[in-house]
Amino acid sequence: MSSFSKALRFPARHGAFKLRAAARTTLALQPQRRNLSIHEYLSMGVLQQYGVKVPRGAVAKSAEEAEKIAHDLGSEDIVVKAQVLAGGRGKGHFDSGLKGGVRVVYSYVFERNFAAAMSGPTEVKMFADKMLGHKLITKQTGAAGRICNAVYVVERLYVRREYYFAIIMDRATQGPVIIASSQGGMDIETVAAETPEAIVTHSIDINKGLQTEDARRVAEKLGFTGKAVDEAVDIFNKLYKIFIEKDSTMIEINPLAEIHTEDGGSTVMCMDAKFGFDDNADFRQKDIFALRDKTQEDPREVAAAKWNLNYIGLDGNIGCLVNGAGLAMATMDIIKLHGGDPANFLDVGGGAQADQVTEAFKIISSDPRVSAILVNIFGGIMRCDIIAQGIITAVNQLGLNLPLVVRLQGTEVDAAKKLIRESGLRMFSIDDLDEAAQKAVKMSKIVGMAREAGVQVKFELPI
């Protein structure tokens, strides 16, 4: 079960889980995700393809384009949303000085007798100019922020009531689960922690699909009444259809809202959407994966994926190259045990070739915070001599001058040690993992102290 679903289904236990996990490596709190996320405006486009009601709007990639969209919408009020793949956009800030990644332009007066709108488009253009090309910093992006290359300009509608609705994959039930709440428009984690009774969950038998009576029961528990119940049920069924047909891992609508209509009635509409899709389905979801925005991803993770390497960047300074996820976790834990901090999770897998190992070193060494590298390989399917050849090639190509600690055990380990010995390269070759981790931490601290003092330290690997 994901930490997301744990927070929602077991809020009290999740708090204890996080306290226990704090003693472990950062990766334990941020497991590798196997999904593609797409921008809000693209998610809204998918919703429209399935007949789900959404506000009118369009995406702009320049301030002038945003101004034109605002004019064409002709709505009294306009919302300008930064298209950045991170939560907490509304509470974030840009490096341009602008506060908030979601801004409302009020009292936008559109005069049909004139060729232009009064005031509104100019303000939309101003906000777009301060968003586009700038980095948005939120609680999820960290201090580095994330670049904003597009803004979503939409009409502002008048909401009668807001709800939260999501479908995710649940490991506990091995199938989809609906997570919903009558308290929409806010962080669902906060709702789960403060008012867990407001959370409605319903597990779906993936072999039967979402049944109409179950969808109706969820709608009624949320508080929908009258014809709004039928509209909500229709939307739930369409969202589930998207979830299954598009190989989704998550569909999140926040808020799902009852909107005031011009005739004095109301209608149910999806006001915001966040979609995730299973990376394993890219071969049959070509249209969805064509929507991927690599500018929103860590370039090192993009490079790693190109070479079929499993990489996640962390905040430490000891680069790790390991084969096998379990061994990688153990390696990072032992680094933490001895007072160090891993800079990454990097699993080369069981069938890596020398060129992949070389690329792995390039990715690790591209992180300016890395001050030492620990290689920990247990050769089963993976041969140690291939790792050794990759290490040698990487050191020669990159002119690597960081301290390098290598621990090799298993298949062809003697051949690997012979290659390293005959290469003429000096590195710390240590058989014991505990000792290897201690050495990596010590070397990292030496380099770190030198950097803090403004002293350039080079570890000359060639003898």
Share of the chain above pLDDT 90, in %: 55
**Mean predicted confidence (pLDDT) in 255-280:** 91
Band (pLDDT 50/70/90 cuts) for residue 355 is confident
pLDDT given at position 11? 39
Catalytic pick from 41, 108, 164, 311?
164
C-alpha–C-alpha distance, residues 59 and 151, integer Å: 6
**Mean predicted confidence (pLDDT) in 185-192:** 85
pLDDT given at position 20? 31
Q: Supply the angle between the helices 120-131 and 63-73 in degrees, to the nearest 10.
A: 150
Enumerate residues 6+ apart whose C-beta is below 8 A from 264: none
H/E stretch holding 246 reads: none
**Tokens representing 273?**
């959407």
pLDDT given at position 459? 64
Q: Is the pLDDT of residue 435 over 90?
A: yes
In the predicted model, what is the mean pLDDT of the chain?
86
pLDDT given at position 112? 47
Over the stretch 268-280, which tens digit does the pLDDT of each residue have?
Answer: 999 999 999 998 8
Token pair 């006001």 is at which residue? 271
Angle at 43 between CA 260 and CA 37, to 5 degrees: 140
For residues 428, 431, 433, 437, the Cα torsion angle rounded to the nearest 10 degrees is -10
Buried-exposed string 328-353: b where 16+ CB fall within 10 A, e elsewhere: bbbbbbbbbeeebbbbbbbbbeeebe
pLDDT given at position 295? 86
Token pair 């929507």 is at which residue? 291
Q: Is the pLDDT of residue 455 over 60?
A: yes
Catalytic pick from 65, 123, 252, 412?
252
pLDDT given at position 263? 82
Band (pLDDT 50/70/90 cuts) for residue 176 is very high
Residue 40 annotated to the active site: no
C-alpha–C-alpha distance, residues 108 and 128, integer Å: 16
Closest CA to 367 of 346, 350, 344: 344
Q: Is the pLDDT of residue 113 over 70?
A: no
Q: Is the pLDDT of residue 26 over 60?
A: no
**Tokens representing 7?**
């927070």
Q: Is the pLDDT of residue 285 over 90?
A: yes
pLDDT given at position 130? 96
Residue 252 annotated to the active site: yes
Band (pLDDT 50/70/90 cuts) for residue 356 is confident
Q: Is the pLDDT of residue 2 over 80?
A: no
Over the stretch 139-167, which tens digit does the pLDDT of each residue have?
Answer: 888 888 999 999 999 999 989 999 999 99
